[in-house]
């Protein structure tokens, strides 16, 4: 028997099926659209983690835009450095300019005080730093973020979260105490994927307070005593890798037997492999924190994640030749007497593993008694992001802007598991805090305490990290492969009761990513 459906019935059935598929898809599309303006504190669901400090909390949900704490909250604006005269005062002025990076090679760039990278800002540990930022021609507006510095909340420089983007002709003053010696950098956090790429950035070096003891031990202390300080900001303009704005080799005069502290800053979106030809070296510091008892290494590379820093101690060979600090193989610092060089070496097959490098030292927090634990699971799933269909990054299963607000109380010892199941590596960067690595893939850290602000989390890897919630504010916690951040790989760490008057969204002009 042959069934025969009328054309009308067929059309009705097809219509019902289409609607059953289309309506949920339309709904997904609709809800994925980023509002014209919204507060970051109400964008994603508040996550309070698990642990002893969690149960005592009120359990308000941040979802829906009515931040439960808004009325009683402390504005991020009020989280500022102490008043008083600054020890370091600088004006940094950003412009859009054409810049010659090599003979005959000119690029569209953003300069700071006329150069890219901008000037290295220098301070001594404990200094109150005051930077007046002037936008003299960055059309989308701009800000300065102090990458790796645990600045007070109001000085974090994130457009739409801690301030409005500074329009052309405007200015903004950042004030913070340089509490920790080390290598840091500044960059715009407005349309940052484009403004950082075009060079709106520079180094910040905080020298140790006089009399401070380096964690490297007596041998290192002796070498550091008269070491030459060499900032090495690495940046790619188009396809050309530069160090301190120079394509190729940058010579640095260094007498035989003298040491240099090379401060490598990776400002690009991918990892940077650093190794030394012609001399051994030590990895002195990672992301601004000294390594405890760093051993001499040869034949190993150091992998610097996007946004990360590595300080290398290199001694010019006694025979008058040079040591080459190879920066990815296409740029280098040549340290030695004038005219000296060394044979280039290829990238060593192995990379130094900070998980086991150096020797242990007491931690200033006890991860065993964490008040709160979070998961930061990075995934990738089909769906809509701001109305666009595709495969999108997810954080704990959610797509931007509905990504977690990891909510803590001041004083909490916090653990976080960063678990990358997304198919690609991600250099994860938490603002305003340093986190210590406890383990990778369950293998405990055995070397020097490994404190980071920029951590490369490979695909399929998971890291357990811990930190003390000692810096109230609203802090981005995002991928520093900046195009990934524009694709939604952004979450926030939020302190209970902290609010922001600034807004994100298409209508606001604030686009931190
Ligand atoms: Cu170096 Cu949120 O950035
Ligand atoms: Cu990423």
Average pLDDT over residues 26-50: 83
Question: Which ligand is closest to the CA of 379, given by its number?
Answer: 2
Is pLDDT at 65 greater than 70 in this prediction? no
In terms of DSSP bridges, do strands 435-440 and 462-468 run parallel, antiparallel, or are they unpaired? antiparallel
Q: Is the CB of 431 under 6 A from ligand 1?
A: yes
The reported pLDDT for the residue numbered 144 is 98
**Is pLDDT above 80 for 2?**
no
Task: Please say if the pLDDT value at position 123 is more than 80.
Answer: yes
**C-beta 426 within 6 A of ligand 1:** no
Bridge partner list, 102: 105
Measured CA to CA, the distance from residue 278 to residue 173 in angstroms comes to 44
Question: How many Å is the maximal CA-CA distance in the chain?
Answer: 98
Q: Strand 451-452 and strand 435-440: pairing?
A: antiparallel
What is the whole-number distance in angstroms between the Cα of residue 5 and the centre of ligand 1? Answer: 62
**463-498 pLDDT tens trace:** 999 999 999 999 999 999 999 999 999 999 999 999
- Please report, in angstroms and rounded to a whole number, the separation of the first and last CA atoms in the chain: 64
Is pLDDT above 50 for 63? no
204 lines ligand 1 (CB under 6 A): no
* Ligand 1 within 6 A of CB of 307: yes
Q: How far is the CA of 275 from the centre of ligand 2 (A)?
A: 24
Q: Is 478 in the pocket of ligand 1 (CB under 6 A)?
A: yes
Residues 143-169: tens digit of each pLDDT = 999 999 999 999 999 999 999 999 999
- Residue 8 — very low, low, confident or very high, per pLDDT cuts 50/70/90? confident
Query: What mean pLDDT do residues 425-450 have?
Result: 98
| 192-215 residue pLDDT tens | 999 999 999 999 999 999 888 877
Task: Name the average pLDDT for the chain.
Answer: 93
Confidence of residue 46 (pLDDT cuts 50, 70, 90): confident
**Per-residue three-class SS string for 203-237:** EEEEECCCCCCCCCCHHHHHHHHCCEEEEEEEEEE
Contact, 445 vs 355, CB < 8 A?
yes
Query: Does ligand 1 come within 6 angstroms of the Cβ of 429?
Result: yes
CA distance 328 to 325: 9
What per-residue confidence (pLDDT) applies to 72? 64
Distance CA 201, CA 269 (A): 14
Which residues of 352-497 form beta strands (DSSP E)? 372-385, 388-395, 405-408, 413-420, 426-430, 435-440, 443-444, 451-452, 454-457, 462-468, 474-479, 490-495
pLDDT at 44 over 50: yes
With 50 as the cut, is the pLDDT of residue 62 above it? no
Pick the residue whose CA is nearest to atom 3 on ligand 1: 147
431 CA distance to ligand 2 centroid (A)? 16
Ligand 2 is a single-atom ion; what residues have CB below 5 A from it?
426, 479, 481, 484
Q: Which of 170-174, 330-334, 344-348, 401-405 has the least mean pLDDT?
A: 401-405
Q: What is the pLDDT of residue 252?
A: 98
Residue 71 has pLDDT above 50, yes or no: no
306 pocket-lining for ligand 1 (C-beta < 6 Å): no
Position with higher pLDDT, 53 vs 67: 53
Helical residues (DSSP H) of 252-326, grouped into ranges: none
Q: How confident is the model at residue 61 (pLDDT cuts 50, 70, 90)?
A: very low
Task: Report residue 15's pLDDT band, with 50, 70 and 90 as the boundaries.
Answer: confident
Rounded CA separation 465/372 (Å): 12
pLDDT mean over 54-63? 47
DSSP secondary structure of 36-63: SSB-HHHHS-EE--BSTTTTTS-----T
Give the Å distance between the CA of 72 and the centre of ligand 2.
Answer: 35
């Amino acid at each position: 028997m042959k069934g025969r459906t009328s054309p009308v019935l067929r059309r009705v059935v097809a219509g019902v099926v289409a609607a059953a598929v289309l309506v949920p898809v339309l709904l997904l599309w609709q809800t994925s659209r980023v509002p014209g303006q919204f507060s970051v504190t109400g964008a994603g669901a508040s996550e309070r983690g698990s642990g002893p400090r969690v149960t005592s909390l009120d359990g308000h949900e941040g979802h829906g835009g009515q931040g439960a704490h808004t009325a009683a909250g402390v504005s991020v604006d009020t989280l500022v450095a102490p008043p008083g005269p600054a020890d370091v005062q600088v004006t940094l002025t950003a412009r859009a300019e054409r810049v010659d990076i090599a003979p005959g090679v000119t690029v569209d760039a953003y300069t700071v005080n006329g150069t890219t990278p901008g000037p290295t800002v220098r301070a001594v540990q404990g200094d109150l730093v005051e930077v007046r930022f002037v936008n003299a021609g960055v059309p989308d507006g701009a800000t300065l973020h102090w990458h790796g510095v645990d600045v007070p909340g109001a000085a974090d420089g994130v457009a739409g979260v801690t301030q409005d983007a500074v329009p052309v002709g405007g200015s903004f003053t950042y004030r913070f105490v340089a509490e920790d010696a080390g290598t840091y950098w500044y960059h715009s956090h407005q349309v940052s994927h484009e403004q950082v790429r075009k060079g709106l950035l520079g180094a910040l070096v905080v020298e140790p307070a006089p009399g401070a003891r380096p964690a490297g031990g007596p041998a290192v202390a002796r070498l550091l005593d008269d070491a030459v300080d060499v900032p090495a900001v690495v940046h790619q303009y188009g396809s050309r890798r530069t160090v301190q704005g120079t394509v190729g080799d940058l010579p640095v005069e260094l007498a035989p037997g003298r040491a240099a502290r090379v401060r490598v800053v990776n400002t690009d979106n991918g990892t940077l492999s650093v190794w030394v030809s012609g001399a051994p070296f030590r990895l002195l510091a990672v992301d601004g924190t000294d390594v405890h008892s760093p051993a001499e290494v040869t034949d190993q590379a150091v992998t610097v994640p996007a946004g990360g820093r590595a300080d290398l101690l290199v001694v010019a060979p006694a025979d008058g030749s040079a040591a080459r600090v190879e920066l990815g193989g296409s740029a280098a610092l040549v340290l030695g007497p004038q005219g000296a060089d060394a044979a280039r070496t290829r990238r060593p097959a192995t990379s130094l593993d900070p998980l086991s490098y150096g020797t242990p030292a007491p931690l200033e927090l006890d991860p065993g008694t964490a008040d709160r634990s979070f998961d930061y699971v990075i995934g990738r799933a089909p769906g809509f992001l701001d109305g666009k269909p595709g495969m999108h990054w997810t954080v704990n299963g959610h797509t931007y802007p509905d990504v977690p607000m990891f909510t803590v109380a001041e004083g909490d010892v916090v653990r976080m598991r960063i678990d990358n199941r997304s198919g690609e590596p991600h250099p994860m960067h938490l603002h305003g805090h340093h986190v210590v690595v406890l383990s990778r893939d369950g293998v405990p850290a055995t070397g020097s305490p490994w404190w980071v602000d920029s951590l490369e989390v490979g695909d399929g890897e998971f890291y357990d990290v811990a930190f003390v919630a000692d810096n109230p504010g609203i802090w981005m916690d995002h991928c520093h492969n900046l195009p990934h951040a524009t694709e939604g790989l952004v979450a926030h760490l939020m302190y209970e009761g902290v609010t922001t008057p600034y807004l994100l969204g298409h209508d606001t002009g604030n686009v931190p990513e």
